[in-house]
Amino acid sequence: MAKNVRIRDVAKAAGVSTATVSRALSNPELLTESTRETVFSAIHATGYRVNKAARNLRTRQAGAVLVLVPNLGNPFFSKILAGVSEWFDDHGYSVLIADTKHHATAGKLPVDYFLDAQVDGMICLDGTLSAEDLKQFEANGVADQIVFACEWVHDSNLPSVRSDNLQGARLAVRHLYELGHRKIAHVTGPQDNVLTHVRRQGMLEERARLDLPVRDDWIIRGDFSLESGRAAAERIVEMEDRPSAVFCASDQVAFGLISTLTARGLRVPEDISVVGFDDIELSEFYVPALTTIRQDRHGLGANAASLLMECLEAGPGAGNEKAPVLVDVELVVRQSSAAPRR
């Protein structure tokens, strides 16, 4: 039962030319109702499926997009992928994935992923690309077929879809403020990361706006990881002037933080309140359930997909001046934040 049905076979079965079969699939309105039906029943009868390699060769398109993920093993990306995949499934594109992390050593440039995959466009979830990487995109004429999602490259004007991180950080701080907290600390993400920068900025802005006390050692460097949350907790435990609340740049940081704080005898939220950022699956079920800023990851993915498709169909230069799409975030209040002990 091998699959060797070619368009020619369908044409023969339907008693028409290959052109007619092709049109039946791509421009059915060009055909008479009766031929169209004949052709479709022949297609059905033969079990014909267009050979994409042939079509792609002829049309010089790929009907596929690539999602470049900095670390596929990170479960954070799964919902974004789901959003991307859903959109493109519905719109007839195939979705390829590639993990940049693994090949960091192999000297494969981001642009190589794009060119090697031979896709029409790319969604990049990695905001750590260098200016040089972007130059390469330009140089190879693919810059117009790239959309950043979730992260983005500082100072680049490539189109991107992102959460409203600034607003998220503000919401977190304001929430803690409204609970009565004044001494608020922040565990940041990794140094070179745009998200780190914006969330920290939002946090600092809101802290200033609310006229809260400032201490340099309340801004603790982390890297989004559980481990860095643990490290931050160790620091906090030993502070003589301890904050009463901590806003973490990610939920994972918050988990590490809470875990270690608890192990060190500080209770959350009784002794110290914690707010995260992301709202990953388990945040709701953590003990204590985590108060956090929800990112609509599925929405980020779907929006990025839709934006990329727009760019692709609009042709070159389309994405050039597109403003970043901001996706709303939402404060989700749970058990890890409460009024401070007095």
Give the one entry of DNA, a second copy, none that residue 218 binds, where binding means its C-beta sits below a cut-off of 5 to 8 angstroms depending on kind: none
Helices within the chain (DSSP H only):
7-14, 18-26, 33-46, 52-59, 78-90, 110-117, 131-139, 165-179, 194-209, 226-237, 251-263, 297-314
Q: Are strands 291-294 and 330-332 parallel, antiparallel or unpaired?
A: antiparallel
The least CB distance from residue 56 to DNA, in Å, is: 8
DSSP label at residue 287: S
Residue type, 202: G
If one asks whether residue 107 binds a second copy (CB under 8 A), the answer comes out as no
Find, among 341, 336, 277, 313, the residue nearest to 91 by Cα. 313
Give the one entry of DNA, a second copy, none that residue 270 binds, where binding means its C-beta sits below a cut-off of 5 to 8 angstroms depending on kind: none
Q: Which residues pair with 330 in a beta bridge?
A: 294
For 154, residues 6+ apart whose C-beta sits below 8 A from its C-beta are 127, 194, 197
For 151, residues 6+ apart whose C-beta sits below 8 A from its C-beta are 70, 125, 126, 127, 128, 162, 193, 194, 195
The least CB distance from residue 46 to DNA, in Å, is: 10
d(CA 2, CA 25): 23
The least CB distance from residue 211 to a second copy, in Å, is: 34
In the bound state with a second copy, the residue whose beta carbon lies nearer, of 15 and 75, is 75
Q: How many residues does the chain have?
A: 342
d(CA 7, CA 65): 26
In the bound state with a second copy, the residue whose beta carbon lies nearer, of 116 and 217, is 116
Binding mask 253-272 for a second copy (x = CB under 8 A): --xx-xx--x----------
Give the pair of three-digit tokens for residue 67: 């999602």
Residues that bind DNA (CB under 7 A): 4, 6-8, 15-20, 22-23, 25-26, 30-32, 34-36, 48, 50-51, 54-55, 57-60
In the bound state with a second copy, the residue whose beta carbon lies nearer, of 78 and 157, is 78
Binding mask 65-104 for a second copy (x = CB under 8 A): ------xxxxxxxxx-xx--xx--x----xxxxxx--xx-
Binding mask 24-63 for a second copy (x = CB under 8 A): -------------------------x-xxxx-xx----x-
The least CB distance from residue 223 to a second copy, in Å, is: 15
If one asks whether residue 314 binds a second copy (CB under 8 A), the answer comes out as no
d(CA 330, CA 230): 26
Give the one entry of a second copy, DNA, none that residue 242 binds, where binding means its C-beta sits below a cut-off of 5 to 8 angstroms depending on kind: none
The least CB distance from residue 268 to a second copy, in Å, is: 9
d(CA 308, CA 124): 11
In the bound state with a second copy, the residue whose beta carbon lies nearer, of 95 and 329, is 95
Report the interface residues with a second copy, using CB under 8 A: 1-3, 49, 51-54, 56-57, 62, 64, 71-79, 81-82, 85-86, 89, 94-99, 102-103, 115-118, 139-141, 226, 229, 252, 255-256, 258-259, 262, 280-282, 284-287, 289, 298
